[in-house]
Amino acid sequence: MYRSGFVSIIGRPNVGKSTLMNRFLGEKISIVSPKAQTTRHRIAGILSGDDYQIVFLDTPGILDPAYKLQEKMMEAMQAAVRDADVVLYLTDITEAAEEVKARMQALSLKHPCILAINKIDLLKGKSIDSLIENYTNFSAVRQVIPISATQGLGIDELLQAILTHLPEGQPYYPTDELTDRPMRFIVSEIIREKIFLLTRDEVPYHTAVVIQSYEDKETLTRIRAEIIVSRESQKGIILGEGGRMIKEIGRLAREEIEQLIGRKVFLELYVKVRPGWRENDRYLSAFGYTS
Ligand SMILES: Nc1nc2c(ncn2[C@@H]2O[C@H](COP(=O)(O)OP(=O)(O)OP(=O)(O)O)[C@@H](O)[C@H]2O)c(=O)[nH]1
Ligand SMILES: [Mg+2]
- The model's pLDDT over 60-74, given as tens digits with 9 standing for 90+, comes to 999 999 999 999 999
Tell whether ligand 1 has an atom less than 6 A from the beta carbon of residue 14. yes
Tell whether ligand 1 has an atom less than 6 A from the beta carbon of residue 59. no
Q: Could you name the CATH architecture of 183-286?
A: 2-Layer Sandwich (3.30)
Atom of ligand 1 nearest to the CA of 61: 25
- Segment 253-263 shows an average pLDDT of 97
CATH number of 3-165: 3.40.50.300
Atom of ligand 1 nearest to the CA of 11: 19
Task: Report pLDDT for 231.
Answer: 98
pLDDT band at 291 (very low <50, low <70, confident <90, very high): low
**What residue owns the CA closest to ligand 1's atom 23?**
39
Domain range list for the chain:
3-165, 183-286
Distance CA 19, CA 267 (A): 26
Per-residue pLDDT at 125 exceeds 90: no
- Type of residue at 258: E
Tell whether ligand 1 has an atom less than 6 A from the beta carbon of residue 91. no
Query: Considering the entire predicted model, what is its pTM?
Result: 0.98
Cβ(220)–Cβ(264) below 8 Å: yes
Cβ(27)–Cβ(35) below 8 Å: no
Residues of the chain with pLDDT > 70: what percent?
Answer: 100
Task: Report pLDDT for 290.
Answer: 84
Tell whether ligand 1 has an atom less than 6 A from the beta carbon of residue 221. no
Tell whether ligand 1 has an atom less than 6 A from the beta carbon of residue 32. yes
Atom of ligand 1 nearest to the CA of 122: 1
Ligand with an atom nearest the CA of residue 91: 1
**What residue owns the CA closest to ligand 1's atom 7?**
16
Contacts of 75 (CB under 8 A, 6+ apart): 291
